[in-house]
Amino acid sequence: MSAANLAARAQENTSSADFRRRLRERQQLVTRALDEHFPPGSGPLAAAIREALLADGKRLRPILCLEACAWVGGSVKAALPAACAIEMIHKMTLVHDDLPAMDDAETRNGRPALHKQHGEALAILAGDALLVHAFGLLASTRGVPAERVTVAITRLCQALGTTGLAGGQALDVLSQAEGVTPEKLDHVHTWKTASLFEAALVIGAEVGGAGVSQVSALARYGMLLGRAFQISDDLLDAQDEKGKAEGEVTNYVQLHGVEGARIKLRELLNQAVSALTSVEGGDIQLLAGITELVWERSWTAGEGHHGNDA
Ligand code: GRG
| Tens digit of each residue's pLDDT (9 = 90 or more) over 212-271 | 999 999 999 999 999 999 999 999 988 875 544 444 788 999 999 999 999 999 999 999
Residue 79 pLDDT > 70 = yes
Distance 151 CA to ligand 1 centre (A): 23
Asked whether the whole model's pTM tops 0.85, one would answer yes
Mean pLDDT on 164-184:
95
Q: Is residue 204 pLDDT above 50, yes or no?
A: yes
pLDDT tens digits for 29-63?
A: 999 999 999 999 889 999 999 999 999 999 999 99
Q: Tell me the C-alpha to C-alpha distance, in Å, between residue 309 and each of 10, 37, 112, 183.
A: 27, 26, 11, 22
Structural contact between residues 256 and 230, judged by C-beta atoms closer than 8 angstroms:
no
Q: Is the CB of 97 under 6 A from ligand 1?
A: yes
Q: Whose CA is nearest to atom 10 of ligand 1?
A: 93
Q: How far apart are CA 102 and CA 67, in angstroms?
A: 32
Mean pLDDT of 74-96: 97
- The answer to whether the CB of 86 is under 6 A from ligand 1 is no
Asked if pLDDT for residue 301 goes beyond 80, the answer is no
- Chain mean pLDDT for the chain: 91
**Structure confidence at residue 24 (pLDDT):** 95
Q: Which atom of ligand 1 is nearest to the CA of 309?
A: 20
pLDDT in tens, 13-24: 676 888 999 999
Return the closest-CA partner of residue 137 out of 122, 153, 113, 115. 153
Q: Would the pLDDT of 279 be above 90? A: yes
Whole-angstrom distance, CA of residue 179 vs CA of residue 260: 20
Q: Ligand 1: does its nearest atom lie under 6 Å from the Cβ of 310?
A: yes
What pLDDT is stored for residue 125 in this prediction?
98
